[in-house]
Amino acid sequence: MGGDDAPGPNIDGARLALAEDPDLHVVLVGDESVVRPAVEGGDDYGGRLSFEVSHGVVGMEEKPTAALRAKPRCSITVCWTLMAERRVDAVVSAGNTGAVVAAGLRTRLFLKGVRRPGIAVTLPTLKGRSILVDVGANPLAKPDHLVQYGVMGAVLAKEVLGVENPRIGLMNIGSEDGKGNDLYRETHDLLRSSPATAANYVGNVEGRGLYRGEADVLVCEGFVGNVTLKVSEGIAEFLMTAAAGQVMGDLHANAASLGDAAPAAIASAKSSFESLGNRFRYSKVGGAPLLGIDGTCIISHGSSDATAIQNALAAVELFQHAHLNERMAEALAVLQPAPATPTNP
Amino acid sequence: MGGDDAPGPNIDGARLALAEDPDLHVVLVGDESVVRPAVEGGDDYGGRLSFEVSHGVVGMEEKPTAALRAKPRCSITVCWTLMAERRVDAVVSAGNTGAVVAAGLRTRLFLKGVRRPGIAVTLPTLKGRSILVDVGANPLAKPDHLVQYGVMGAVLAKEVLGVENPRIGLMNIGSEDGKGNDLYRETHDLLRSSPATAANYVGNVEGRGLYRGEADVLVCEGFVGNVTLKVSEGIAEFLMTAAAGQVMGDLHANAASLGDAAPAAIASAKSSFESLGNRFRYSKVGGAPLLGIDGTCIISHGSSDATAIQNALAAVELFQHAHLNERMAEALAVLQPAPATPTNP
């Protein structure tokens, strides 16, 4: 039910993924009037497409906690319940991000040792790809939460991006020690001293450094991460519009000197900007995992199309195959304080 | 003395500005071995170029407060002292931003009623230009500080960008009421209710909205603003590199179909990207005013070249002519609590 154009892209994306992956099963969760015909009205892929009825939806503009309380059997709550009952392995949603996270927190379905789950996004950089955690799951992060994001993000970078020793950085307003507020100073000290992160911690990284690929995993609290992600979307949209306008405008202005080749040159540039749009448009990206869940939760962009939903379902498969949660639990165990030595009174 | 390539661009920028503006006087502040030959070794524009000797510099990587304590007559402290003594009207620096701000705070040279100065930057958007305050002067902002940034930013938008009724927005992680942490929720309520801002307040604006031009003035606390600015620089650099690579690569790949016109098409695109670089490169922008100072302080980018310094000096002129501080003081006066009515015992 979630997403700006739901339910169309969710249903179509599920069908695309089912056709592609013979091991995949999808349960569509939603109002009966939506999910029953979506399943019964076409191929059910040998029983691999089924549905579960829920009642009500948390709208994109609703306040998550109040809406979840008011609608105890809404679609996102039913999704998480299915996962808590181990009837599904993963939840994929393009709905209200706050509601997806809040419904998940209610299940307390956390990986062992995890204090607060965080959302990770993979962003393109000058050097390849980097992971940013948290982009909005945790508005009240503490230093030990951020250290856990570094540890879990590093597992993601290693297992999914294929980086052998992922460099962990702390997004900050300067690269020197002592930069930022108390949260960032304490996190910096912890990342530098923790046995789980010290060897791969590259220190504070400025906003510029994110897109220069100065770290494979960048850690920040949710407000800053969310603004970073949305500013990035905004400026990408703005710059691509400006760049296309400039390049096409100049080619048109130079049409005389290009002669008969002018249309071909303009067509080439037009196709270049279409390729760029596909490379950098966030609605094409499958989604962002909520790290720290005992299960898999992929949060897709509200404007996801069917391809994005298909990609999100493929990401679930990737995470399962990489045994991401087992690897994260092992890495997080290094962070746990040693059990207190029993003393004889 | 401040800036990545100092003192060259500062001296050259001053000379460019002096040649352009016959009313301008510039005092170069720095080590005697630098500023004396810079003035005495060439035209002094009829005495309009002079120098003031300082001792020591706060380096770009130094901690501002410690460095200012250790170097009581360093260049930025002398700059602010000259302004506090009304021997100059403005300070322009491309040095350590934290040190420029900290040295200013020490003079307490604040506009009447201002709680904490904030740095304003002007950013290009899909609709024109918008102002973002604060991008890093105030790491511990309180709601009333942010409201003052909205008021002062609106004066800047009106007097400098020429926007008649500037729309004020609060940078937040969602557009609905109640979004963000306590700081943002309280600021949202204050902006909505204050007589100085209520009429022009458009509410919470997401990071995407900044570059869509959804507000003329966007208010945020310094950490978020600084990350926003530096992420913007980073992604602009990254996207322009990616876009140029794609467009030029595709034109080369299509060279056969372009025939003799291929070199002209490639030259056209190359020049387009050079124009874009000049439009969006931050080192070309003159600098960002520190709003809330009883005087004028322009903080230039560390990588400023001579043109950027010249532009910063031109911005000083613009602000003086627009009587920006008088307009801000008037606007801020609306925020002041009414004086307590004297009561007879």
Average pLDDT over residues A235-250: 92
DSSP per-residue letters across B135-201? SSS-TT--HHHHHHHHHHHHHHHHHTS--SSPPEEEE-S-SSTT-S-HHHHHHHHHHHH-TTTGGGE
Q: Is residue B26 part of a domain?
A: yes
Residue A200 is given by DSSP the state: G
Contacts of B118 (CB under 8 A, 6+ apart): B133, B134, B137, B138, B141, B145, B148, B149, B152, B222, B290, B291, B292
Closest Cβ opposite residue A237 in set B174, B211, B247: B211
Q: Is residue B311 part of a domain?
A: yes
User: Would you say residue B101 has pLDDT above 90?
Assistant: yes
User: Would you say residue A212 has pLDDT above 70?
Assistant: yes
- Write down the mean pLDDT value for chain A: 92
User: Would you say residue A168 has pLDDT above 60?
Assistant: yes
Distance from C-alpha of A87 to C-alpha of A109, rounded to nearest angstrom: 14
Closest chain B residue to the Cα of A61, Cα to Cα = B176
Q: Is residue B319 part of a domain?
A: yes
Window from A258-262, B26-30, B69-73 with minimum mean pLDDT: A258-262
- With left for phi above 0 and alpha for psi between -120 and 50, is residue A128 left, alpha or beta? left
Closest Cβ opposite residue B257 in set A174, A264, A275: A264
User: Would you say residue A283 has pLDDT above 90?
Assistant: no
CA distance A272 to chain B (A): 5
Q: In this predicted structure, what is the pLDDT of residue A110? A: 95
Note whether B262 and B175 are same-domain residues: no
Q: Is residue B2 part of a domain?
A: no
C-alpha dihedral over A161, A162, A168, A172, to 10 degrees? Answer: -30
Note whether A95 and A34 are same-domain residues: yes
Q: Is residue A286 part of a domain?
A: no
Contact B146, B219 (CB under 8 A): yes
Note whether B82 and B12 are same-domain residues: yes
Cis preceding linkage at B9, omega within 30: no
CA distance B8 to chain A (A): 24
* Chain-chain contact of B180 with A139 (C-beta, under 8 angstroms): yes
Q: In this predicted structure, what is the pLDDT of residue A337? A: 60
* Chain-chain contact of A258 with B272 (C-beta, under 8 angstroms): no
Cis preceding linkage at B89, omega within 30: no
Closest chain A residue to the Cα of B211, Cα to Cα = A234
Q: In this predicted structure, what is the pLDDT of residue A120? A: 97
Are β-strands A118-125 and A288-291 bridged in parallel, bridged antiparallel, or unpaired?
antiparallel
Q: HSE on the CB side for B278, CA within 13 Å?
A: 7
What are A307's two structure tokens?
A: 């391809």
Q: In this predicted structure, what is the pLDDT of residue A6? A: 95
Q: In this predicted structure, what is the pLDDT of residue B174? A: 84
Q: Is A303 exposed, middle or buried (0-12, 13-18, 19+ CB in 10 A)?
A: middle
Domain that holds residue B90: 8-114+292-328
- Write down the mean pLDDT value for chain B: 92
Q: In this predicted structure, what is the pLDDT of residue A175? A: 82
Distance from C-alpha of A254 to C-alpha of A110, rounded to nearest angstrom: 60
Contact A209, A123 (CB under 8 A): no
Closest Cβ opposite residue A211 in set B238, B257, B259: B238
User: Would you say residue B267 has pLDDT above 90?
Assistant: yes
Write the CATH number for A169: 3.40.50.10750
Residue scoring higher pLDDT (B270 or B341): B270
pLDDT confidence bin for A284, thresholds 50/70/90? low
* Chain-chain contact of A254 with B268 (C-beta, under 8 angstroms): yes
* Chain-chain contact of B231 with A226 (C-beta, under 8 angstroms): no
Last residue of a domain, one of B180, B195, B222: B222
**Set of chain A residues whose Cβ sits within 8 Å of the Cβ of B259:** 260-261
Q: Is residue A338 part of a domain?
A: no
pLDDT, tens only, A100-122 = 999 999 999 999 999 999 999 99
CA distance A35 to chain B (A): 29
Contact B93, B300 (CB under 8 A): yes
Q: Which of B97, B132, B138, B208 to probe by mutation at the A interface, max A CB count within 10 Å?
A: B208
Q: In this predicted structure, what is the pLDDT of residue A345? A: 43
**Set of chain B residues whose Cβ sits within 8 Å of the Cβ of A261:** 257-262, 265
Note whether A216 and A231 are same-domain residues: no
pLDDT confidence bin for B324, thresholds 50/70/90? very high
Window from A141-145, A239-243, B142-146 with minimum mean pLDDT: A239-243
Average pLDDT over residues B67-90: 97
Contact A71, A77 (CB under 8 A): yes
* Chain-chain contact of A243 with B276 (C-beta, under 8 angstroms): yes
Q: Is residue A316 part of a domain?
A: yes
Average pLDDT over residues A9-14: 97
pLDDT confidence bin for A156, thresholds 50/70/90? very high
Q: In this predicted structure, what is the pLDDT of residue A335? A: 84
Note whether A211 and A139 are same-domain residues: yes
For chain A, what is the domain count? 3
CB pairs under 8 A between A and B: 221
Note whether A107 and A129 are same-domain residues: no
Q: Which of A238, A254, A266 to probe by mutation at the B interface, max B CB count within 10 Å?
A: A238
Q: Is residue B342 part of a domain?
A: no
**Set of chain A residues whose Cβ sits within 8 Å of the Cβ of B234:** 207-212
pLDDT, tens only, B153-193 = 999 999 999 999 999 999 998 888 888 889 999 999 999 99
Last residue of a domain, one of A223, A241, A270: A223
User: Would you say residue B345 has pLDDT above 50?
Assistant: no
pLDDT confidence bin for A342, thresholds 50/70/90? low
Write the CATH number for B107: 3.40.718.10
Q: In this predicted structure, what is the pLDDT of residue A277? A: 84
* Chain-chain contact of B211 with A231 (C-beta, under 8 angstroms): yes
User: Would you say residue A145 has pLDDT above 70?
Assistant: yes
Note whether B76 and B34 are same-domain residues: yes
* Chain-chain contact of B223 with A224 (C-beta, under 8 angstroms): yes
Closest Cβ opposite residue A223 in set B173, B273, B276: B173
Note whether A230 and A189 are same-domain residues: no
Distance from C-alpha of B180 to C-alpha of A230, rounded to nearest angstrom: 14
Sole residue written with tokens 């900007």: A273
What are B307's two structure tokens?
A: 């043109």
Distance from C-alpha of A143 to C-alpha of A41, rounded to nearest angstrom: 50
Q: Among residues of chain A, what percentage have pLDDT more than 90?
A: 83
Q: In this predicted structure, what is the pLDDT of residue A177? A: 82
Note whether A130 and A198 are same-domain residues: yes
Q: Is the dihedral of CA B71, B76, B80, B85 positive or negative?
A: positive
Give residue A124's identity as a one-letter amino acid code: P
Q: How many CB atoms lie within 10 A of CB B314?
A: 17
Closest chain A residue to the Cα of B179, Cα to Cα = A63
pLDDT confidence bin for B206, thresholds 50/70/90? very high
pLDDT, tens only, A31-60 = 999 999 999 999 999 999 999 999 999 998
User: Would you say residue A344 has pLDDT above 70?
Assistant: no
Sole residue written with tokens 């002592």: A178
Q: In this predicted structure, what is the pLDDT of residue B191? A: 97
Q: Among residues of chain B, what percentage have pLDDT more than 90?
A: 83
Q: Among residues of chain B, what percentage have pLDDT more than 70?
A: 96
Please calculate the CA angle A242-B97-B12 and round it to the nearest 5 degrees. Answer: 75
ipTM over 0.85: yes
Note whether A307 and A216 are same-domain residues: no
Contact B152, B140 (CB under 8 A): no
Closest Cβ opposite residue B211 in set A238, A268, A279: A238
**Set of chain B residues whose Cβ sits within 8 Å of the Cβ of A269:** 247, 250-251, 269
Note whether A66 and A123 are same-domain residues: no
Closest Cβ opposite residue B230 in set A207, A240, A241: A207
Contact A333, A155 (CB under 8 A): no
User: Would you say residue B292 has pLDDT above 70?
Assistant: yes
Which one, of B226, B242, B237, lies nearest residue B280 by Cα?
A: B237
Q: HSE on the CB side for A202, CA within 13 Å?
A: 20
Note whether B87 and B169 are same-domain residues: no
CA distance B137 to chain A (A): 11
Q: In this predicted structure, what is the pLDDT of residue A60? A: 86
CA distance A96 to chain B (A): 11
Q: In this predicted structure, what is the pLDDT of residue A285? A: 66
Window from A282-296, B101-115, B186-200 with minimum mean pLDDT: A282-296
User: Would you say residue A165 has pLDDT above 50?
Assistant: yes
Please give the helix or strand (H or E) that residue A2 lies within, else none: none
Average pLDDT over residues A280-286: 66
Contact B248, B157 (CB under 8 A): no
User: Would you say residue A19 has pLDDT above 90?
Assistant: yes
Q: Which of A227, A278, A299 to probe by mutation at the B interface, max B CB count within 10 Å?
A: A227
